[in-house]
Chain A
Amino acid sequence: MSTLTMVNLQKRYANGYEAVPGLDLEIKDGEFLVLVGPSGCGKSTVLRMVAGLEDISGGDLLIDGARVNDMGPQQRDIAMVFQSYALYPNMTVGDNIAFAMKLRKTPKAEIAQKVKEVAELLELDKVLDRKPGQLSGGQRQRVAMGRAIVRHPKLFLMDEPLSNLDAKLRVHTRAEIARLQRRLGVTTMYVTHDQVEAMTMGDRVAVLRRGVLMQCASPQELYERPDNLFVAQFIGSPSMNVVRGTVVSTDHGPGVQIGDQTVELGSVGAARFPGIGEMIGRDVAFGVRPEALGGDGSGRLTMQVELVEMLGSELLVHGTVNAPAVRAIDTGVEQSDKPTSMVIASMDPRRKVEVFSTVELPVDIDRVHLFDLDTGLAIGRDAAGRVTDSSSPNELDKG
Chain B
Amino acid sequence: MAILTLPSWLMLIALFAVPLVVGVYLSTRSDKIGSFVPGRAVGLDNYRRDVFQPGFTGALTVTLVITAIGLLIQFPIGVGLALLLHRNLRGSAVFRTALLLPMLLTPVAVGLMWRFMLDSDLGVINWLLDTVGLSRIGWLGEKWAARVAIALVDSWQSIPFVMLMTLAALSSLPESPHEAARVDGASAWRVFRFVTLPMLRPVLYITVMIRVVDSLKLFDIIFILTKGGPGKATETMGLQAYNVGFVALQTGRAAALGVAVAAVTLPAYVLWLRAQRASQR
- Chain A residues with CB under 8 Å of chain B are 51-53, 72-74, 76-80, 82, 84-91, 99-100, 103-104, 147
Contact = CB atoms under 8 A, between A and B. Distances in A.
A88 B194 contact: yes
Interface string B145-187: 0000000000000000000000000000010110111111111
Q: Which of B179, B181, B183, B199 has the most CB of A within 10 A?
A: B183
A53 B186 CA distance: 13
Interface in B174-217: 174, 176-177, 179-187, 190, 194-195, 198-199, 201
Contacts of A99: 181, 184, 186, 194
A82 B182 contact: no
B182 A53 contact: yes
Contact of A82 (B180, B186, B190, B198): B180
A84 B174 contact: yes
Contacts of A52: 182-183
Nearest to A151: B184
Contact of A86 (B179, B187, B190, B194): B179
A103 B184 contact: yes
B199 A79 contact: no
A79 B182 CA distance: 10
A88 B216 CA distance: 36
A245 B89 CA distance: 57
Contacts of A73: 179, 182-183
A87 B174 CA distance: 10
Contacts of A78: 183
A89 B183 contact: no
A90 B182 CA distance: 17
B181 A80 contact: no
22 contacts: A51-B183, A52-B182, A52-B183, A53-B179, A53-B183, A73-B183, A74-B185, A74-B186, A76-B183, A78-B183, A79-B183, A79-B184, A80-B180, A84-B174, A86-B179, A87-B180, A88-B181, A88-B194, A99-B184, A100-B185, A103-B186, A147-B184
Contacts of A76: 183
Secondary structure type dominating chain B contacts: helix
Contacts of A85: 176
Interface residues of B, number: 18
Secondary structure type dominating chain A contacts: loop
| 6 shortest interchain CB distances as A-B pairs | A86-B176, A90-B198, A86-B180, A100-B184, A73-B182, A80-B183
Contacts of B185: 74, 77, 100, 103-104
B176 to A, nearest CB: 4
Contacts of A80: 179-180, 183
A53 B181 CA distance: 11
B182 A87 contact: no
A74 B180 contact: no
Contacts of B183: 51-53, 73-74, 76, 78-80
Contacts of B186: 74, 99, 103
Given A88-B194, A89-B199, A90-B199, A74 B176 contact: no
A36 B195 CA distance: 31
B199 A82 contact: no
A100 to B, nearest CB: 4
Contacts of B177: 86-89
B184 A84 contact: no
A159 to B, nearest CB: 10
A86 B198 contact: no
Contact of A74 (B174, B182, B194, B201): B182
Contacts of A147: 180, 184
A40 B183 CA distance: 23
A52 B182 CA distance: 9
Nearest to B173: A89
A72 B201 CA distance: 27
Nearest to B184: A100
A74 B187 contact: yes
A43 to B, nearest CB: 16
B194 A82 contact: no
Given A88-B194, A100-B184, A147-B180, 17 more contacts: A52-B183, A53-B182, A72-B182, A73-B183, A74-B185, A74-B187, A76-B183, A80-B183, A82-B179, A84-B176, A85-B176, A89-B177, A90-B198, A90-B201, A91-B198, A99-B184, A103-B190
Q: Which of A53, A72, A76, A86 has the most CB of B within 10 A?
A: A86
Nearest to B186: A103
Contacts of A88: 177, 180-181, 194-195, 198
Contacts of B195: 88
Nearest to A51: B183
Contacts of B194: 88, 91, 99
Contacts of A72: 182
B210 to A, nearest CB: 22
Contacts of A100: 184-185
A114 to B, nearest CB: 14
Contacts of B201: 90
A220 to B, nearest CB: 33
A10 B186 CA distance: 26
Contacts of B199: 89-90
Contacts of B182: 52-53, 72-74
Contacts of B190: 103
A88 B174 CA distance: 10
A151 to B, nearest CB: 8
Contacts of A79: 183-184
A280 to B, nearest CB: 57
Contacts of B198: 88-91
A190 to B, nearest CB: 16
A223 B181 CA distance: 38
Nearest to A48: B179
A74 B194 CA distance: 15
A84 to B, nearest CB: 5
A92 to B, nearest CB: 12
Contacts of B181: 88, 99
B1 to A, nearest CB: 32
A91 B181 CA distance: 12
A331 to B, nearest CB: 31
